[in-house]
Amino acid sequence: MREITYAQAINEAMSEEMRREKNLIFMGEDIGLYGGAFGVSKGMFEEFGPERILDTPITELAITGCAAGASMTGLRTIVEIMFSDFMTLAMEQLANQAAKNRFQFGGQGSVPMVLRAPGGSGTGAAAQHSQSLEAWVAHVPGLKVVIPSTPADAKGLLKASIRDDNPVVFLEQKLLYRVKGEVPDLDEDFIIPLGKADIKREGKDVTIITYGRMVQRCIKVAEEFAKDGVEIEVVDIRTLVPLDKETLISSAKKTGKVLVVHEACQTGGFGGELVSVVVESDAFFYLDAPVKRLGGLDVPIPYNPGLEALVVPTEEKITAAIKDLL
């Protein structure tokens, strides 16, 4: 397979779906001629034109509301929120309108809408542009939540999200945009179903359950432990909602030791939900140690690069947590 970046994979997914589905439109700030704040939509304006690639005013509430309304009345929509932090401005339309419409009308309508948003720390963007807010949206019934960790996952999951008849929040970690990985050729209609976790590395001694940027860090740590004969299984959940509980439970049974890792603040983070999946199942009786969580510190993301690097799980912190489990 060819190698492309995470950003290119997202661009390909959107472009392929817009060629396939003529009722699909794409809305957001600076996504047209400028090509998006992170260059993800470069070339799309030139191919699809201003009627389908819509540069919007700087008002996340209005963008999301327009997309939700358009989706309810026959179009399919993609919305780009420039930073996931600004979902806070769009939450009324996202949580109270898009997420609830299908339920409130007894399934008579649908809201085929994807809200894409880059999130996470590591770029020196400081406290208001570096948050990981996936637990907020995962808490809202009616929203599906996706966080891919590789270019292939980004493409396959985004195409599946666009074809879904429900609103999907598709979160992209900013530091992954330039990461390269193998992706199937363009002549393949590559789809990854939502709700299916992926075992990124097989192991028998410890299970790490993680997602997003932390997947690569956990794999690096696992490779170091393998030099000493400790085989760590790395499970990438990929979609928070729907969640593949069966894969998590099966892996926990196999290894008997579980560490949950995520970048977001630990208090109220999605890691608590992942721990509950394991301990509330029959996997509990296979555990040799309590399930351990490792999340970000409960502080706003600092601008100082040294401090910024320390507030999220580092390879050193992940290594120490595994040693505690062992």
Which residue in 112, 28, 49, 110 sits closest to 76, CA to CA? 112
Q: Cβ of 240: how many Cβ atoms within 10 Å?
A: 24
CA gap 324, 326 in Å, rounded: 5
CB 268 within 8 A of CB 135: yes
- Which of 74, 13, 73, 77 is closest to 40 using CA atoms? 13
The Cα diameter of the chain in Å comes to 58
- CA distances (Å), origin 94, targets 58, 98, 160, 163: 17, 5, 20, 18
* 139 a catalytic residue: no
Catalytic residue among 76, 102, 116, 129: 129
Q: Which residue has the tokens 């950003």?
A: 7
Catalytic residues: 129
